[in-house]
Homo-oligomer: A and B are copies of this chain.
Amino acid sequence: MKATVVSFNSDLHEQMLSLGKKARAAYGLMAEARGEQKNMALVQAALALREHAKDIMTANQKDIEYAKGKGLDAAQMDRLKLDPKRIEAMAAGLETIATLPDPVNRMLDQWTRPNGLVMQRVSVPLGVIGIIYESRPNVTSDAAGLSLKAGNAAILRCGSECHHSSLAIVKCLHEGLKKAGLPEDAVQMVPTRDRAAVGEMLTMVGLIDIIVPRGGKSLTKRVLEESRIPTIQHLDGNCHTYIHKDADAEMACDVLLNAKMRRVGICGATESLLIDESIAKDMLPKVADVLSKAGCEMRGDGKARAADKRIKAATDEDWDTEYLAPVISIKTVKGADEAIDHINQHGSHHTDAIITADINTARAFLRRVDSAIVMHNSSTQFADGGEFGFGAEIGISTGRLHARGPVGAEQLTTYKYVVHGTGQTRA
C-alpha cells in the first residue's frame, strides 16, 4: 500500500515538474511576442469561446452534477454555473484586454550618468504565474488572458468543482494561441484534481515566479503559509465609508447604500460606517431609512443607537469584521482624525472612502488612510479591475509589495535595466 502512495506522489511530482518546464520554455517565446500577436491570440480565443459555447455548457453541466454530490451551497453553485451570458462576458473580457496597450517594452525611465552610460528601465513580463482558484470558471479566461497579454506563461489550478468547465475554456485559449503562432504551453491547466498538486505548485521554486491565490480565506491562508514562492496577497476587505460633517446628505445616503448593498459578497463592499458625532442625530435616521429598507442589519455604538433605535448594539468584534452579508457596523467619531486612526487600526488596507464637501478634510483622509484604494465621494464597490479600466483583474492585492489594489496585466510585469555604454570601465 505504501509503495503505491509513494509512486503516486512521485508521479504527480514528475507531472508538475514537466508542466513547469514547459511553462518556462513557453515564457521564453511569449516574452518575445509582439503586441499584435498577443492581441490576435486574445481575439481568436474570444471567438473560440463563442464558437464552442455549447461544449463549454456541456462541460459545465458535468461540473454541476459533480458539485451537487459535494453539497455546495447556493452561492457556490451560482459562482460555478455558466450560461450563454456569462460565456459572452468572458469573450468580451478577452476582447477588452486585447484593446489595452501592450504592458511590456514600455520605457519606464531613462537617464544618463556623468560617465556617459545611458540607463533605461524597461518593463518586461513577470515570468511563469501560478494561479490557484476555486469554483468560478470565468477566472480561467480572465487570469489566462491577463497573463498572456503581459507575455507570461500561466499554470492554472482550479477547484475540483470547475475542472471540466475550465478544461473546455483552456481549449479555446489554446485555439487562440495556436492561431497567433504562440505556444499553447503558455496556458496550462494542472491535469489532476489531486489536492497535493497545490502543495507541489507552492514549492516549484525556479519554475514558477509568482503564485496568485484567488478565492476564499482558507485558500489564501494556506498559500501564504505554505508557499516558498512570492505571492500576491489578498486578505480581508474590511472597507469603510466615512460620512464627514460637511457631507451632502443625499449623496451620502446614495453612495453608502451602493457601497454596502449593491453586492454584499464582494471584497470592496463597505462593512463599516463612520460618521461624525455632530451630525449623527440628523443624519443617522436618514441613513437607517435607506439601509433598513434595503434589508441591512445595523450594529452601532451608544451614540449611534441614541440617534436611531433601529440600530442594534455592536461589540468590539464588529469593528474588525468583514461580514460579506447585509450587515453594517456604525461608529460615531469626533472628526476626521479619529476616523482615520480607526480605519488604519481596524481596516484591512483594502478600500476606504470619505464623503464630504470639504476638500481639505478629503485631502487629509486620502493622504493619511493607509489603504490600497482611498476614495472621495465615491462608492467603495468601484474597487475592481474592470472599473479601474484594466479590462479584468486577477485579484485585488492587500499586500504592499509589487502590486497594490487591482491586479491587471500591467501588474503582471516586472522591469529590467538596459545599460548602453561605449566601453566604460569602473574606476
Residues in A lying within 8 Å of B, measured CB to CB: 28, 31-32, 111, 113, 117, 119, 124, 126-127, 209-210, 224-225, 228, 230, 248, 251, 254-255, 257-259, 262, 344, 366-368, 370-379, 381-382, 387-389, 399-402, 404-405, 414-426
Contact = CB atoms under 8 A, between A and B. Distances in A.
B251 A423 contact: yes
Per DSSP, chain A at the interface is mixed
A242 to B, nearest CB: 14
Given A382-B117, A401-B402, A423-B248, A373 B416 contact: yes
Contacts of A119: 388-389
Contact of A419 (B382, B402, B416, B425): B382
Given A210-B401, A376-B418, 15 more contacts: A28-B370, A111-B389, A113-B388, A126-B400, A230-B230, A230-B401, A371-B416, A375-B418, A376-B419, A376-B421, A378-B419, A378-B424, A382-B419, A401-B402, A405-B417
Contacts of A423: 248, 251, 254-255, 377-378
A419 B255 CA distance: 14
B402 A262 contact: no
Contact of A422 (B127, B377, B388, B400): B377
Given A401-B401, A416-B405, A117 B378 contact: yes
B117 A425 contact: no
Q: Which 5 A-B pairs have the closest CB atoms?
A: A378-B421, A258-B425, A402-B402, A251-B423, A375-B419
A376 B423 CA distance: 8
A91 to B, nearest CB: 21
A419 B382 CA distance: 9
13 contacts: A111-B389, A119-B389, A254-B423, A370-B416, A373-B416, A374-B416, A376-B418, A377-B423, A379-B421, A401-B414, A402-B402, A404-B416, A405-B417
B424 A379 contact: yes
- Number of this chain's copies in the assembly equals 2
Contact of A381 (B230, B372, B389, B426): B426
A417 B400 contact: no
Contacts of A426: 258, 262, 379, 381-382, 387
Contact of A376 (B248, B379, B405, B420): B420
Given A230-B399, A389-B113, A372 B255 contact: no
A1 to B, nearest CB: 32
Given A210-B401, A367-B32, A400-B210, A425 B375 contact: no
A404 B400 contact: no
A209 B111 CA distance: 30
Most chain B Cβ neighbours within 10 Å, of A382, A422, A426:
A426
**Most chain B C-beta atoms within 10 Å of own C-beta, residue among A113, A119, A367, A423:** A423
A122 to B, nearest CB: 9
Contacts of A224: 228
A398 B59 CA distance: 42
| Max chain B C-beta neighbours (<10 A), residue from A344, A382, A404, A422 | A382
A224 B227 CA distance: 11
Contact of A425 (B113, B210, B379): B379
Contacts of A370: 28, 31, 124, 416
A404 B399 contact: no
A399 to B, nearest CB: 7
A373 B419 contact: yes
Given A387-B113, A389-B113, A400-B209, A418 B374 contact: yes
Contacts of A230: 230, 399, 401
Nearest to A210: B401
A40 B321 CA distance: 42
Contacts of A251: 423
Contacts of A414: 400-401, 404
